[in-house]
Amino acid sequence: MQDKKSPKRNSHRLWKRMTLGGLIFCLCVAIGAIGQLALAKVLPHERSAAPTTTIKTETTKPGKGAQEPAPTTQTPPEQPSSEPKMPRPRPYLVANKHLTNLRSSNPATPIYDRYTLTERTEKGLPLALPYIEPYTEQKVAYLTFDDGPDLVNTPKILDILKEQDVPATFYVLGCRAQENPELIQRIFNEGHAIGNHSYDHNYDTLYSSPNDFLWQILYTDEILHGILGVRPLIVRAPGGTSSMFTDEYWTMLDENGYAIHDWNVCTNDATQEKPNAARQLEYVDVQTNCPKNGNAAIVLMHCTADKTETVKALPEIIRLLKQKGYTFGVITPMTPQPY
């Protein structure tokens, strides 16, 4: 016979088992939570982002009246420029309004004008140079280089002059100054004199009339003034005045305030002979034994791409002139004429 109370007993047993299971589950959860807390004290915390580095500098409290330093931000060091920085210009003399200060005690000091001829005319300032007593106190060699600047030999010549600490005069063409303004600036900055040698050296147009010659001089002045902020007062005629000038050219340039110089020592580096370095040195040696103006040796050379032998000869020419007792100067309005 079946027991009538068995269903109640079964449900009672099931409830006990469920209660016991719940207690066991709660106990497990509690034990797990305790374990996680214990592990958290031992293991390092993870970071979601990469660490950042902060540079701290020691600061002191400013004294009375002092200003707190402004906060600064560190930046990477500036990368060196691929172009060399130009040195600051060496001393040079700038003509005054009335052109009355053009004689220097130092023949190696270049002289320029801050005004172009057009500006002088517009301002009603004098154009013609006053009489300037030539410099004759000592023997001076004036190294002059025509027809540049170019990118081949002009920099090499400048390097030699810098190494020897010798100034020179560069009679430049306006068209080449336009092409190589950085070399014009370097010549100027390194203490050499810059002279006007016309715009394009084209005899057919340059010597068709005095006005055409003057136009090239004025145009080149404007180019140089645009690069340097000053313009030269010295001019050299392509081919030389003795073979190219008439009285009209002399009068025109005198009235407009230009000092013109030829030469009395020549390396012949622009002749058909095309002498090598040794031969050029011989020419300078012979011609400086008894120059036409004993105290002023004005040496004609060129600095264009085909004058490699001139570059080779230059250090020996400098050595020779020093040995003969010459100092070195630059052409200015006070430089004596070579004849």
Strand partners, 298: 142
What per-residue confidence (pLDDT) applies to 290?
81
Question: In tens digits, what is the pLDDT along the chain, a chain of 339 residues?
Answer: 444 444 444 455 554 555 555 555 555 445 455 444 443 443 334 333 333 333 333 333 333 333 333 333 333 334 444 555 555 668 999 999 999 999 999 999 999 999 999 999 999 999 999 999 999 999 999 999 999 999 999 999 999 999 999 999 999 999 999 999 999 999 999 999 999 999 999 999 999 999 999 999 999 999 999 999 999 999 999 999 998 999 999 999 999 999 999 999 999 999 999 999 999 999 999 999 987 777 899 999 999 999 999 999 999 999 999 999 999 999 999 999 998
Strand partners, 169: 144, 193
What per-residue confidence (pLDDT) applies to 21?
54
What per-residue confidence (pLDDT) applies to 292?
79
Tokens representing 165 are: 């600490």
What per-residue confidence (pLDDT) applies to 40?
42
Helix ranges, the chain (H) = 6-42, 117-123, 154-164, 174-179, 181-189, 203-206, 210-228, 241-244, 247-255, 277-287, 308-323
E strand or H helix at 298, and its extent?
Answer: strand 296-302
Q: Could you tell me the residue range of the domain that residue 249 belongs to? A: 111-328
What per-residue confidence (pLDDT) applies to 317?
98
Q: Are strands 111-113 and 231-232 parallel, antiparallel or unpaired?
A: antiparallel
On whether residue 169 sits in a domain, the answer given is yes
Cα atoms in the 13 Å half-sphere on the side-chain side of 36: 5
On whether residue 310 sits in a domain, the answer given is yes
On whether residue 102 sits in a domain, the answer given is no
Amino acid at 335: T
On whether residue 99 sits in a domain, the answer given is no
Using CA atoms, how far apart are residues 264 and 270, in angstroms rounded to an integer?
A: 15
Backbone angles phi, psi at 123, to 5 degrees: -90, -5
Domain count, the chain: 1
On whether residue 288 sits in a domain, the answer given is yes
Using CA atoms, how far apart are residues 72 and 114, in angstroms rounded to an integer?
A: 43
**Active site members:** 146, 302
Concatenated DSSP letters of 188-223:
HHTT-EEEE--SS--HHHHTS-HHHHHHHHHHHHHH
* 273: CATH: 3.20.20.370
* 264-to-84, 129, 233, 301, 321 alpha-carbon distances in Å: 37, 23, 20, 12, 14
On whether residue 47 sits in a domain, the answer given is no
On whether residue 63 sits in a domain, the answer given is no
On whether residue 284 sits in a domain, the answer given is yes
| 336 burial via Cβ count (<10 Å: 0-12, 13-18, 19+) | middle
CB 298 within 8 Å of CB 67: no
